[in-house]
Amino acid sequence: MHDYNISYKGLAEGEYLYDYHLNETFFETFETENLLAADLQVSLTFRKKSTHVELEFDINGTVSFPCDRCLEPVSSEIETQQKIYVKFGEAYAEEDENLYIWPESNNDIDVSKFINELIVVAFPMRKVHPDDTKGRPTCPVDMLKYIENINDDGSKIDPRWNELNKLKDGTS
Ligand SMILES: [Zn+2]
């Protein structure tokens, strides 16, 4: 069980290192749409200063989504670095994407929230098997054949009927 809550109040000023290994279950809490699998390494350098806290994240690994074209899993590399500043105040607030106000009454900083946001922003825009050098999709072939055999209304064409229709039309 990973502990994403860092009890910063008990820490002396200085630098602390945390490592997390995430899989898809991490994202269940955040209801990340369509994510099939994840394998990510997160290194956090936590710097406690006299007036604020600096969180420096280094995240890399892979995530997998259903391909937009064939629905088979397609994986993407994720690599992101980000520094977040946390100051203390009355209530939680997001000043900008790198500066947060954290309620002074909280003893812990929950870093899972930041980790989730950094990764979601790094998700690929286009989730599809890439084309090969000849511009052909690299989707698994069987699945493409299956898709090509589906009518516009979603019903499946039985290849045997195609042959029969050809006979009827005299095109065979
Ligand atoms: Zn595909």
Q: How far is the CA of 88 from the centre of ligand 1 (A)?
A: 46
> What count of other Cβ atoms lies within 10 Å of the Cβ of residue 4?
19
The pLDDT of residue 1: 42
The pLDDT of residue 163: 60
Q: How far is the CA of 162 from the centre of ligand 1 (A)?
A: 26
Q: How far is the CA of 108 from the centre of ligand 1 (A)?
A: 43
Q: How far is the CA of 8 from the centre of ligand 1 (A)?
A: 45
User: Are the C-beta atoms of residues 40 and 22 closer than 8 Å to each other?
Assistant: yes
pLDDT digits (tens, 9 = 90+) for 44-81: 999 999 999 999 999 999 999 999 888 899 999 999 99
Buried b (16+ CB within 10 A) or exposed e, 6-31: bebeeeeeeeeebebebeeebbeeee
Q: How far is the CA of 75 from the centre of ligand 1 (A)?
A: 10
Radius of gyration of the chain (CA): 24
Q: How far is the CA of 150 from the centre of ligand 1 (A)?
A: 16
Angle at 171 between CA 170 and CA 172, to 5 degrees: 95
Burial-class residue 74 by CB neighbours within 10 Å (0-12, 13-18, 19+).
buried
38 SS3 class: strand
Q: How far is the CA of 129 from the centre of ligand 1 (A)?
A: 4
Structure tokens at 25: 């279950």
36 SS3 class: coil
Mean pLDDT by 10 residues, the chain (172 residues): 82 96 90 89 96 96 93 94 94 91 91 93 90 88 66 59 62 52
- Overall pTM surpassing 0.75 (yes/no): yes
